């Protein structure tokens, strides 16, 4: 089984202390519908950055940015839906509420808390072992962003409601076009085999990102490569720049996905010579690993898989309540929490 090939860089069990084992996932994220990466109704514009177009091509272009939080939050929520469904979210001892994101009361015991980390107001903290970075669009923002005037009329067919109030929904809204590719490097630190399966499942099965996600924001994620190493590999920005160079002309939206995948794979093939890389999965091994993940997440095996993963933290749960009782005392309940959105 291909997941075994990664064993030199996988932890055999969860440990409190890091041991320098890195697994890098190369992810291509492609929008399948109009997508909006900003806080709904906030009026802020889409996030973009001026960067060099390629590694060798030194033109400066403005690229769209999919921030780390826009990636991780929906993926965490996906996993947590299943933890909830299989009764694997714990009750927080401080206020007896069930573990939830964006509150001062993470349970500090569930799979999500152990993997993605938490910073609780009550004194406990767990560093996330999933390191994400901003993902960049391959093409310039000007090519991949559209403007749409939202012309919302009321049911009476006019721009005014029964009380004569004008519709406030008339405005111009920026959106990311369908078929836009973001390249992304996700680094996993000291994870176990089952943790790896859980994280990859969250990435592959999450299909909605960004604001107003029930109506827009459909996105397809594919994993193009997996590396094991003793250090972090090149950044998402370096990957997107090298791929830009490798793509050749013409570079216009929409880019053919197979062309993008070929160029990206060509770039990451050279990474096996990078300092610190000990394992690179071949295409066939990658396919096997993905089907291994799909099997573990399948209807037939999901319950066993998630419960086994949850059980693996058991030895580390027992100390938590005592420790927090002491440390939590007198802490301000309004301590800021790290917010995922
Ligand atoms: Zn939790």
118 CA from centroid of ligand 1 (Å): 8
Instruction: Tell me the mean pLDDT in the region 5-28.
Output: 94
For residues 230 and 266, what is the distance between their CA atoms, to the nearest angstrom?
A: 22
36 CA from centroid of ligand 1 (Å): 29
- Chain Cα centroid distance, residue 223: 12
Q: Which pLDDT does position 326 carry in this prediction?
A: 40
The percent of residues above 90 in pLDDT, for the chain, comes to: 62
21 CA from centroid of ligand 1 (Å): 24
3-state secondary structure of 219: strand
Taking a 5 Å cut-off on Cβ, the residues next to ion ligand 1 are 99, 106-107, 110, 113
User: pTM for this structure?
Assistant: 0.87
115 CA from centroid of ligand 1 (Å): 10
CB 137 within 8 A of CB 64: yes
For residues 88 and 155, what is the distance between their CA atoms, to the nearest angstrom?
A: 44
Non-local (6+) Cβ contacts of 39 within 8 A are 211, 341
42 CA from centroid of ligand 1 (Å): 29
- Which residues is 220 bridged to in the sheet? 30
- Which residues is 26 bridged to in the sheet? 185, 225
pLDDT score of 250 more than 80 = yes
For residues 52 and 341, what is the distance between their CA atoms, to the nearest angstrom?
A: 28
Instruction: Tell me the mean pLDDT in the region 41-46.
Output: 63
Q: Which pLDDT does position 322 carry in this prediction?
A: 46
Between 147 and 75, the higher pLDDT residue = 75
pLDDT score of 249 more than 80 = yes
pLDDT tier for residue 340 given thresholds of 50, 70 and 90: low
For residues 232 and 20, what is the distance between their CA atoms, to the nearest angstrom?
A: 10
pLDDT score of 24 more than 80 = yes
For residues 207 and 90, what is the distance between their CA atoms, to the nearest angstrom?
A: 26
51 CA from centroid of ligand 1 (Å): 38
108 CA from centroid of ligand 1 (Å): 5
CB 309 within 8 A of CB 200: no
Q: Which pLDDT does position 40 carry in this prediction?
A: 52
Instruction: Tell me the mean pLDDT in the region 200-209.
Output: 95
For residues 188 and 202, what is the distance between their CA atoms, to the nearest angstrom?
A: 13
Between 341 and 273, the higher pLDDT residue = 273
209 CA from centroid of ligand 1 (Å): 22
Q: 10: which 2 tokens?
A: 């996988």
The percent of residues above 70 in pLDDT, for the chain, comes to: 83
For residues 259 and 139, what is the distance between their CA atoms, to the nearest angstrom?
A: 14
Instruction: Tell me the mean pLDDT in the region 125-135.
Output: 90
Average per-residue pLDDT in the chain? 86
9 CA from centroid of ligand 1 (Å): 26
pLDDT score of 328 more than 50 = no
pLDDT score of 171 more than 70 = no
Alpha-carbon distances of 130 from 22, 113, 157, 220, 295, rounded to whole Å: 10, 12, 49, 20, 22
pLDDT tier for residue 11 given thresholds of 50, 70 and 90: very high
110 CA from centroid of ligand 1 (Å): 4
């Amino acid at each position: 089984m291909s997941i075994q090939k990664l064993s030199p860089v996988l932890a055999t069990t969860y440990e409190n202390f890091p041991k320098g084992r890195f697994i890098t996932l190369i992810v291509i994220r492609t929008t399948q519908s109009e997508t909006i990466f900003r806080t709904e109704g906030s009026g802020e514009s889409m996030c973009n950055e001026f960067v060099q177009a390629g590694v060798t091509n030194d033109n400066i272009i403005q690229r769209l940015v999919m921030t780390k939080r826009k990636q991780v939050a929906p993926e965490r929520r996906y996993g947590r839906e299943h933890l909830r469904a299989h009764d694997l979210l714990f009750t927080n001892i401080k206020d007896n509420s069930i573990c939830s994101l964006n509150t001062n009361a993470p349970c500090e015991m569930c799979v999500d808390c152990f993997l993605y980390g938490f910073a609780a107001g009550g004194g406990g903290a767990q560093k996330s072992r999933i390191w994400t970075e901003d993902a960049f669009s391959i093409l310039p923002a000007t090519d991949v962003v559209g403007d749409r005037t939202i012309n919302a009329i009321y049911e009476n067919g006019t721009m005014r409601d029964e009380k004569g109030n004008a519709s406030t929904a008339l405005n111009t809204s920026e959106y990311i076009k369908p078929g836009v590719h973001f390249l992304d490097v996700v680094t996993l630190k000291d994870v176990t085999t089952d943790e790896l399966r859980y994280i990859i499942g969250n990435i592959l099965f999450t299909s909605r990102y960004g604001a107003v996600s029930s109506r827009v924001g459909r996105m397809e994620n594919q994993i193009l490569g997996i590396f094991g190493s003793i250090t972090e590999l090149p950044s998402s920005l370096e990957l997107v720049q090298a791929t830009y160079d490798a793509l050749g002309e013409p570079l216009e939206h929409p880019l053919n996905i197979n062309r993008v995948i070929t160029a990206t794979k060509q770039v990451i093939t050279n990474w096996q010579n990078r300092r610190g890389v000990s394992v690179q999965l071949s295409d066939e091994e990658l396919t096997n690993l993905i089907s291994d993940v799909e099997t573990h997440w399948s209807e037939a095996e999901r319950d066993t898989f998630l419960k086994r993963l949850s059980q693996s933290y058991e030895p580390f749960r027992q100390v938590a309540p005592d420790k927090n009782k002491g440390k939590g005392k007198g802490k301000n309940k309004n301590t800021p929490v790290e917010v995922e959105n």
